Structure 1
Amino acid sequence: MDDSVSLQAEVLSIGDELTSGQRLDTNSQWLSARLAELGIRTIRHTTVGDDLAGDIEALRLAAGRADVVVVSGGLGPTLDDLTRQALADAFECPLELDVDSLEHIRQLFARRHREMPERNQVQAMFPRGARVIPNPHGSAPGIDMSVDSLGRGSRIFALPGVPAELKEMWTQSVVPQIEAMLGATLAPWRYHAVKLFGIGESDVEVRLPNLIDRRRAPTVGITVSHATITLRIAARAQTDGQFADLIAPTLNEIQQALGELIFGAGDDELEHVILRKLAQQGLSLATVEIGAASWIKHWMLAAGQSATQLDNESLDDPLPGSSVDKSTGTTAGGFVGGLAFPTLAHAARWFQERDDHDLSGRVSRDSELRDWGPEIWKPLAQQSRQRFAADVVLVVNGYPSPRAVEVSAGQFDFDFILAIGDELSVDRRSMS
């Protein structure tokens, strides 16, 4: 089956807890990924609250747009669980009692040594003509309906919002129904992500002007997060091997144009790759960040390193706004800790109070911090390396540039200082 006859889906989530922001809608993400595995592209996510009129409208619109509509939530027994009534009203199919479902719910309560509340009987009510989606471990069976809306036919699968129940019902009952709808096997969508660092989104498009054209196959999407560019390649393929063959020319094109900027693939983030390479080489890394909000330290710690944060008092640190982290148990390479200071003067004072006079004597106040060179960075890096017993120290100075007349408004100088043993390299870049 080619793309011209492939199915499109909409995922509809129902619940005030979602529209109010009290709960994150993870079901829609999971369902869209599962639909893609079946070769079905999700064209829209819709979230509505527990409002009957709003739910009816959302169901009619979704069924008029998509071949498959997957609904999550609103199948409980309480007065604000409105999905079944909304389905009945939207498509003029009155609710009817399903005796087998009612017996299943009663037995479920009996196994828990409880009597079924009368209100739970509503969970055995289904729009006329609908099919039951069994719920092996919960009291809310799902609803499978074939409907017509806005001049087109659509298949609606309504599932409970409890993720564990939704996933089991999807796998056991919904997937076989969708596969039967597809008839001839449609190749699923497969994805491969290429991660870049050190370039802007517009620069990628300049180097690869035809890459982001939505008419090309495979398709390539581009996203940006925390200075990382992700190129997401998508194509239909029955097997991983076929997919690899399909995307090989695209990967080669990306490699030729951007090879020096590629750091990983898939779920890799820059901090994961750095930690992996450190571990492979048995090297330890410490960081010192000045006026940079401790971003690198937090990224490295969040990447899976075990760390203990020590407060200022425990380190006799008198400087407001300064912080120190030391990781624990890192002996075979990895991130061993980080220092963070609002300004270089704070860093100098911190070292001075620990009798590190090589640095503190060179810096007296912020106004003197101009065109800092090795005489400042070398002792700072070396003393940090000794304090953490680290093989490598990365110092990042994000303090606003004193050369205000030389840089554009809204831009700042960042100094990146890398110390490996006694070797020191300094790179200054202007960033907005």
Structure 2
Amino acid sequence: MSMKAEIISVGDELTSGQRLDTNSQIISRRLGDLGIRVGHHTTVGDDLADNVSAFRIAASRCDIVIISGGLGPTADDLTREAMAEAFGQPLEFRPEAMAHIENLFKSRNRSMPERNRVQAMFPQTSRIIPNPHGTAPGVDLEVLVKDSLNMDHPSRLFALPGVPAEMIQMLSQTVEPRLIEELGLGHQRCFFHSVKLFGLGESDVEQVIPDLISRDRIPRVGITVSKATITLRIAALATCEDEFQSLIEPTLAQIRQAFGEVIFAEGDLELQDVIHDILDQKHLTLSIVEVGSGCWVGQMLSEGLEPNKPGGLKHLAWQPHLPASATAMDGNSPSLADLALESKQLNRTDYAMAVGVYPPSSSFPRESSLPSTELQVAIVGPANRATLKTKSVSGHPELFYQRLAKTALDLLRKELLDG
């Protein structure tokens, strides 16, 4: 059974929302590389009682606890004191830690404030985690506590500074080697594989593969949604990439069979990246016309576009390239096909897509979900024959235009693959 970890971030600046907690993300990924499953992220303010409670709870339910923040010299830096109180260990002075702090101030031609002596205080049975570039050494403490069943439960706590550069260095140079050498970790790591879908809702996806997303299943399959894209994230412990691929292949086969062309990519690719790759592989060029305002499709396709690459977008045709009659067009006009053909001929591309009028944001209702809107696109390929496609689109106002643009891109993706 793999070890379970909790990450605790300390600081009023985090609980108040003034600063984003990036340390937890970094630590989670690094622990995953060692095969350690992170079960909890906790954020706590600069309050002694809250810190003591958080540390005790974490130690009772996790094998490893990594704390970031609260090791500075000021009165609101309470991590050392909270660790001592939580586990009944008095703080003691460590001369070797004090010597490092004093030498650091001397090397910077500064006098050390008396308050910095507190950074040389450690819970009695703890070990020092050296901090080569800062005045806040870390704390490595092993404790034996009672779990939820009142059974003895060993836990290892590591407290690191909140400064990201110092935290990362101490994690790499001391914490990870100790976990590997003393706990025998690192033989396996957690690998991930993502499958991207567009065109279904989260609940629809869950209904199709209920058995695959069972929490006790190996490999685990999680569902996340971001900007109208569904990601199925497959996770498993393995010693190497080849072992991981062998382990997840049956799961991948089930997902591919269940969703077919709804899957637009595997890995980190987005819809616009897939369009770029198809154009590049087939040495095709493309022009886009979007009637009305916004140009969301063009903006998405322009992201990360390499200039002068073979294939890809030759031109994004907007208002300067529209015929005079286009100013009165709406998305349901049959002349949308003519507009796509004219764009293809004008820009001398292999393909062209004309996207119908988007509804103005001023027409959005106040409620959280918009009524269904018909999006129409016309796609013209090498044979100069237009294909008209219509799709109903709805969603939250903040994501509506992105959903419209992604719907158009997905229709284009399927047309390019069939062409």
- TM-score normalized by structure 2? 0.81
Instruction: Assess, with a 3 A threshold, how the Cα gap between structure 1 residues 279 and 24 changes in structure 2: closer, same or farther.
Output: farther
Aligned to 1:326: none
Q: Which SS does the other structure have where 1:410 is aligned? A: strand
> Is 1:332 aligned to 2:328, yes or no?
no
Q: Assess if the C-alpha contact under 8 Å between 1:292 and 1:397 holds in 2.
A: no
Within 1, Cα distance between the matches of 2:331 and 2:308? 36
Aligned to 1:237: 238
Q: CA deviation at 1:61?
A: 1.4
> Is 1:378 aligned to 2:373, yes or no?
no
Aligned to 2:211: 210
Deviations 1:203-246 (A, max 9, x none): 33344342222233222112222232211112221121111111
> Is 1:137 aligned to 2:99, yes or no?
no
Instruction: Assess, with a 3 A threshold, how the Cα gap between structure 1 residues 207 and 248 changes in structure 2: closer, same or farther.
Output: same
Q: Percent identity?
A: 48
Within 2, Cα distance between the matches of 1:295 and 1:138? 46
> Is 1:356 aligned to 2:334, yes or no?
no
Instruction: Assess, with a 3 A threshold, how the Cα gap between structure 1 residues 424 and 25 changes in structure 2: closer, same or farther.
Output: same
> Is 1:427 aligned to 2:386, yes or no?
no
Deviations 1:76-116 (A, max 9, x none): 22232221122122223222221111111222222223232
Instruction: Assess, with a 3 A threshold, how the Cα gap between structure 1 residues 251 and 370 changes in structure 2: closer, same or farther.
Output: closer
Q: Which SS does the other structure have where 2:67 is aligned? A: strand
- TM-score normalized by structure 1? 0.79
Deviations 1:275-334 (A, max 9, x none): 233333443444344568443333334x4237xxxxxxxxxxxxxxxxxxxxxx445333
Within 2, Cα distance between the matches of 1:67 and 1:297? 49
- Return the match for 1:107 from 103, 112, 129: 103
> Is 1:255 aligned to 2:256, yes or no?
yes
Structure 2: state its 5+ residue gaps. Answer: 148-152, 361-368, 395-419
> Is 1:395 aligned to 2:354, yes or no?
yes
Aligned to 1:192: 193
Q: Which residue identity lines up with residue 311 of structure 2 in the other structure?
A: G
Deviations 1:40-99 (A, max 9, x none): 111110011222222222112111221111001111222322211221222232222211
Structure 1: state its 5+ residue gaps. Answer: 307-328, 341-349, 364-368, 402-407
Within 2, Cα distance between the matches of 1:355 and 1:178? 63
Aligned to 1:37: 33
Q: CA deviation at 1:160?
A: 0.8
After TM superposition, the structure 1 = structure 2 runs for residues 27-426 of structure 1, keeping only pairs within 5 Å, are 27-151=23-147, 152-183=153-184, 187-290=188-291, 293-301=294-302, 303-305=303-305, 329-330=307-308, 332-335=310-313, 338=316, 356-360=323-327, 363=329, 369=330, 371-373=332-334, 375=335, 377-385=336-344, 391-397=350-356, 399-400=358-359, 410-420=371-381, 422-426=384-388
Deviations 1:252-285 (A, max 9, x none): 2222222322222221222222223333344344
Deviations 1:342-376 (A, max 9, x none): xxxxxxxx56xx8833534x64xxxxx48421x2x
Instruction: Assess, with a 3 A threshold, how the Cα gap between structure 1 residues 185 and 74 changes in structure 2: closer, same or farther.
Output: closer
Instruction: Assess, with a 3 A threshold, how the Cα gap between structure 1 residues 410 and 136 changes in structure 2: closer, same or farther.
Output: same
Q: Assess if the C-alpha contact under 8 Å between 2:144 and 2:154 holds in 1.
A: yes
Q: Which SS does the other structure have where 2:371 is aligned? A: coil
Instruction: Assess, with a 3 A threshold, how the Cα gap between structure 1 residues 397 and 149 changes in structure 2: closer, same or farther.
Output: farther
Within 2, Cα distance between the matches of 1:398 and 1:47? 45
Instruction: Assess, with a 3 A threshold, how the Cα gap between structure 1 residues 288 and 184 changes in structure 2: closer, same or farther.
Output: closer
Within 2, Cα distance between the matches of 1:54 and 1:110? 36
Q: CA RMSD in A?
A: 2.9
Q: Which residue identity lines up with residue 312 of structure 2 in the other structure?
A: G
Instruction: Assess, with a 3 A threshold, how the Cα gap between structure 1 residues 259 and 240 changes in structure 2: closer, same or farther.
Output: same
Instruction: Assess, with a 3 A threshold, how the Cα gap between structure 1 residues 398 and 411 changes in structure 2: closer, same or farther.
Output: farther
Q: Which SS does the other structure have where 1:55 is aligned? A: helix
